[in-house]
Amino acid sequence: MSGSGIIQRKDLYLIWEQKHFSKISPYKEFIFDMLIKLDILSEQRRYDIDTGSRLPVENFFVPCMLTQRNYTRFMTQECTPEKTISLAFVFKGTIIPQDLPNRLISACLSMWTVKTYEGKQLLFSGFVGLSFDKAHDIVVCVEGNKILLYIVHETSNGLIVPDIATGIKECMFTTLERISEFYKSTVHVSSSSQKLPFHIEYACSRLECHTTEEAALTTDEWICDKHKIVHTKDNWNIWNQEQVCAVT
């Protein structure tokens, strides 16, 4: 399982039938459901090609068991500046606790379908590619203390639907907020501390430099350090359609 991170319900039940697990065996269905609720296991969504209806779940992902890094050409061939927009969720410290991105990937897998590219599913350690619809794909990957979010259009980033980008951003933010709150509760951190352990940074048009969301939305222009490209506040409207509609 370490290669694919995939397990079936019957396989896990078979493990729990061993003598060592005799005390938990009567509660196996409840425990299985709790593993899904806690994003330790995630359903592998499948849909009927003809009708679009959801098919019964057979396989489950266990992201923490994935060890293989992304070796496909997707990031170099498809996730290009011409077709992609990006932002980063930047955490305090130099690295992110491994369990946090694993839970995030599990949550993503419960919402969207894993993308298949050149015959390979884009599910690797710290990396997942997802299909949103026929034109839009999502990539979530971990680099150091950042969780990078990419939205890729099949032809041009100018055709990315703003409502889709805004919705994905808000969904990811809410999910990370929920996971962070869960971790606070497990380490008995005071709930009175409302400050999140991460902030958002927007990527430049070359997807390499970043500026904080606060600076991006309060500064008329931003010139990225590496490429010296000028970006205006309008560049970030695609991520914030609710604010744009409120202003107009």
User: Looking at residue 49, what is its pLDDT?
Assistant: 60
Pair (29, 135) in one structural domain: no
Q: What are phi and psi of 74, to 5 degrees?
A: -60, -45
| Dihedral sign (CA 68, 151, 156, 227) | negative
Pair (183, 72) in one structural domain: yes
Total structural domains within the chain: 2
Which residues, other chains included, contact 134 with Cβ-Cβ below 8 Å and sequence gap of 6+?
Answer: 154
Which CATH number fits the domain that encloses residue 140? 3.30.310.200
Please tell me the number of Cα atoms within 13 Å of 91 on its side-chain side.
19
Residue-averaged pLDDT of the chain: 86
Domain range for residue 26?
1-64
Pair (104, 198) in one structural domain: yes
Pair (60, 82) in one structural domain: no
Task: Write the pLDDT tens digit of every residue in 84-143.
Answer: 999 999 998 877 877 788 888 888 888 888 899 999 999 998 999 999 999 999 999 999
Q: Which of 64, 88, 113 lies at the terminal end of a domain, its last residue?
A: 64
212 neighbors 200 (Cβ within 8 angstroms)? yes
pLDDT at 248 over 50: no
Pair (229, 166) in one structural domain: yes
What tokens does 50 get?
A: 């003809």
Pair (130, 172) in one structural domain: yes
User: Looking at residue 5, what is its pLDDT?
Assistant: 77
Neighbouring C-beta atoms of residue 206, cutoff 10 Å:
13
Pair (3, 20) in one structural domain: yes
**Residue owning tokens 């919705």:** 167
Q: 40-54, 56-70, 138-152, 234-248: lowest mean pLDDT where?
A: 40-54
| Dihedral sign (CA 140, 118, 53, 152) | positive
pTM of the model: 0.84
Determine the Cα–Cα distance for residues 243 and 246; give it in Å rounded to an integer.
Answer: 5
